[in-house]
Structure 1
């Protein structure tokens, strides 16, 4: 095993000089630094993590708080976590994953133990109880998500946030459908548990949907739904009972998408001839659905990457706190089309002798 003393002998310097180069505690001339780095690379020296942490007051670890709560869509959060891990490694950091629902206690434990240099916090809720601890922490923290229903409120709280602009995403869905002539739209949203704990992205999407519906004269009906076939069937039945003229569905619940498409096929409702479907979901979900979905992409990889890059800059003292919202991108695919002239399903019209 290569030691620090081996590096010093190879570079022709003292062990303390190598230590100063590694810790950055003293200014060492560029030629000497280059010679030591060449020796490190040639010999394959890897500083001991504990010694490196003691020398630099840094652990080389980022803590990712990703509580696995009811209603959380695991594939999306996993994609974000993978992007965080990959980007962190490219900057020389490892990631400590925390999945428990410990709330403020988890923040206090990470902060008090100095086990990580910074924290990334996911599944942020309205008035999230972890926020006071994060704001008081000495180590940088970043939220993937907003703890309020507007970016402006988050800015005034002095938080550091990265997220999709979900308000604009909701508005974009309504604008797309309104442009196709749809005036009655129903929203199948995240499960009730997500709304009840005030998760920011769900509330902000709904706010954007409602604001755009008012602007464009679109009647909007919102129903939270679990991702099972039975739950989707019950929700869609209620929608058509309450709003028989509904011609489009906006879905912000990845788990509900395939059950919905299967249900519509079973009911003889053709997509998009009888009813249009627009989703807020990752591109891979939209592209590989049984009917390619018109969708606003949830850029999970970009969110994870931006979170780490902002934190790395914060650790280097380069970036102030603030909110960075990713503009929504809607891609039109096979699931949306012009509003039908009547709400009778295609199969029923064919049964009457229509085409």
Structure 2
């Protein structure tokens, strides 16, 4: 087992005295910015954890949960705000604050938060099928909980703790609803290339089950990657509807933009075309034609995540597990009743 680094190791790497390292951490004496940076860089390099290294402070907590979610300029933050808001609300109920870490640093973001003991536990989001942060999570003292799961979490020996919405179950319900309505073909307007390129794990899970469900029923299914903007969505609909044949539509993203484009064409969901969507209940009900949908249940997922995370704070050695919040379909007005 690797030796735990000490403040003496930090001092050696930084080229300063051990007392200077102590002053940087305690703030009891003024330290130049240059020296402070040298010490902090050495701490990060060594993954030095003051709270873990000092037995007298081992029982102290920061009362902070870190949410590690890279926010990219082309993706924005709209899709994650319900998660963050609910995590923060649940944390406040337990007298905890939230630290939001948004830099797209990969595993270094986890290393930085853990190495500086900035939080007692971490929620890791925007999880990829192959996620390098899993390796770091296995080696740090603070418990971490992934919203989403990398492929390795399904291994029976995995020590990762992961929770997510059941995207595969949601795909099965949505495709099944269109099949039940008697559509002759299903077109999925899926996530855009910029989302797929990120390697987030929910996209292949949803797609595999959607395709398998349609194939089992003998209904052709096409998958179209569409950027979430009105111009791209209208162009995609031009291609899909050019032949005059109207397929059943499953919207994985871009719900308001797609509904607006259909209505502009004189196609009313539930009358002229069957439409289902993967979106929150609030978004589904806010449309001119309320949409039959499966919600990703961001607040339920977040509430369960925080409850589990506090259990892990008391029992960090709990065995690894993947938990899924079940999918439910809510029928509204966007699918025609079967003849």
Give the alignment's TM-score, normalised by structure 1: 0.75
Tell me the equivalent position of 2:248.
248
Give distance in 1, aligned partners of 2:321 and 2:281. 27
Q: How does 1:69-148 map to 2 (within 5 A)?
A: 69=72, 72=75, 74-148=77-151
Tell me the equivalent position of 1:272.
270
| 2:67/2:124 contact within 8 Å kept | yes
- Cα offsets for 1:191-238 (capped at 9, x unmatched): 111111211112211111011011111111111111211010111222
Number of matched pairs: 283
Give distance in 2, aligned partners of 1:273 and 1:221. 22
CA distance 1:311–1:249, change in 2 (3 Å): same
Task: List alignment gaps of at least 5 residues for structure 2.
Answer: 1-55
Tell me the equivalent position of 2:203.
202
Give distance in 2, aligned partners of 1:71 and 1:273. 35
Task: List alignment gaps of at least 5 residues for structure 1.
Answer: 1-52, 341-355
Once the two structures are TM-superposed, the CA of residue 152 in structure 1 deviates from its matched residue by 3.3
Give distance in 1, aligned partners of 2:312 and 2:256. 41
CA distance 1:117–1:151, change in 2 (3 Å): closer
Give distance in 1, aligned partners of 2:335 and 2:100. 39
Tell me the equivalent position of 1:306.
304
Give distance in 2, aligned partners of 1:152 and 1:245. 41
Once the two structures are TM-superposed, the CA of residue 55 in structure 1 deviates from its matched residue by 6.9
Once the two structures are TM-superposed, the CA of residue 73 in structure 1 deviates from its matched residue by 6.1
Tell me the equivalent position of 1:337.
336
Give distance in 2, aligned partners of 1:151 and 1:103. 18
- Cα offsets for 1:152-191 (capped at 9, x unmatched): 35x5432111111001100111111111111301001111
Tell me the equivalent position of 1:169.
170
Give distance in 1, aligned partners of 2:225 and 2:338. 24
Give the alignment's TM-score, normalised by structure 2: 0.78
> Alignment RMSD, CA only?
2.1
- Runs of 4+ deviating beyond 6 Å: none
Once the two structures are TM-superposed, the CA of residue 137 in structure 1 deviates from its matched residue by 1.5
- Does residue 282 of the first structure (1) align with residue 280 of the second (2)? yes
Tell me the equivalent position of 1:23.
none
Give distance in 2, aligned partners of 1:156 and 1:123. 23
Tell me the equivalent position of 2:226.
225
Q: 1:223 is paired with a residue of what secondary structure? A: strand
- Cα offsets for 1:57-86 (capped at 9, x unmatched): 321111101211255463331110011111
Give distance in 2, aligned partners of 1:132 and 1:152. 15
The structure 2 residue matched to 1:316, chosen from 300, 314, 317, is 314
Q: 1:178 is paired with a residue of what secondary structure? A: helix
